[in-house]
Amino acid sequence: MDHDTPVYLHQLPVPGEDRYASLALVNTRFTVSHGPVDLLDDAEAAHLWLVRHELLPDRVVLNGRQFGRLLGLREALRALFRAHGIHVVPSAEDLATLNSALAAAPSTPRLAWTPEGPHRSVEADVGNPAAAALSVLAEDATDLLTGSEADQLTECAAQGCARWFLRSHGARRWCTTKCGNRVRAARAYAARKAR
């Protein structure tokens, strides 16, 4: 382990983030033993995150308004995931934030032709790359919340973690083994202390 690298960069991957960029976006804000971490703490960090997730070309600069919209979408997605998890209707404001991002760069149907033959494809409007990135994230979240894996969407049960993951089996309660080990160690310590 590189000890000069911040501890939060050594976080274990969370199940589902590899398939859903919206899940990775929600998980950019979490807590470690040293305190809260925000991987999108400024526009430059947000730009880097979008580039690393292949949602924005490196040459495109993220301005303050676009950065604010990204943070707003992240918080709306967190609220929508929570509403889904506890089976309540989310706020109209959170839904409006997601729907606004969806509408920011509408997709256009196209006919594509590959060696396998013609097929329908949908391409996002790339006239505004930052809006297109938000639209892709919003569409990804919509697919997650309405798709076959929606029932697997779970918030980590470890105190203070605040990350979301896709449960691989019904008994799984923690996003990573690290969180599970931390909870078990805390229980063992409490049991020893009680004796």
Q: Looking at residue 39, what is its pLDDT?
A: 94
Burial of 9: CB neighbours in 10 Å, binned 0-12, 13-18, 19+: exposed
- For the stretch 82-107, pLDDT in tens is 999 999 999 999 999 999 999 988 77
**What integer pLDDT is reported at residue 150 of this predicted model?**
94
For the beta carbon of residue 18, count every other beta carbon within 10 angstroms: 11
pLDDT-flagged residues of the chain (< 70): 1-12, 124-126, 183, 186-187, 189-190
How far apart (Å, rounded) are the C-alpha atoms in residues 191 and 139? 46
Give me the pLDDT at residue 4, please. Answer: 52
End-to-end CA distance of the chain: 37
Q: Which residues on adjacent β-strands are paired with residue 117?
A: 114
Residue 126 pLDDT = 67
Quote the tokens at residue 155: 């918030």
Residues 66 and 134: their CA atoms lie apart, in Å, by 9
Burial track 85-124 (b if 16+ CB lie within 10 A, e otherwise): eeeeebeeebeebbebbbebbeeeeeeeeeeeeeeeeeeb
> For residues 61-74, b (16+ Cβ closer than 10 Å) or e, as one string?
ebeeebbebbbbbb
Q: What is the pLDDT of residue 11?
A: 60
Q: Go through the domains of the chain in sequence order and give each one's CATH number.
A: 7-150 (1.10.3300)
Pairing of strands 117-124, 153-155: unpaired
**Interval 154-169: pLDDT, tens:** 999 888 788 999 998 7
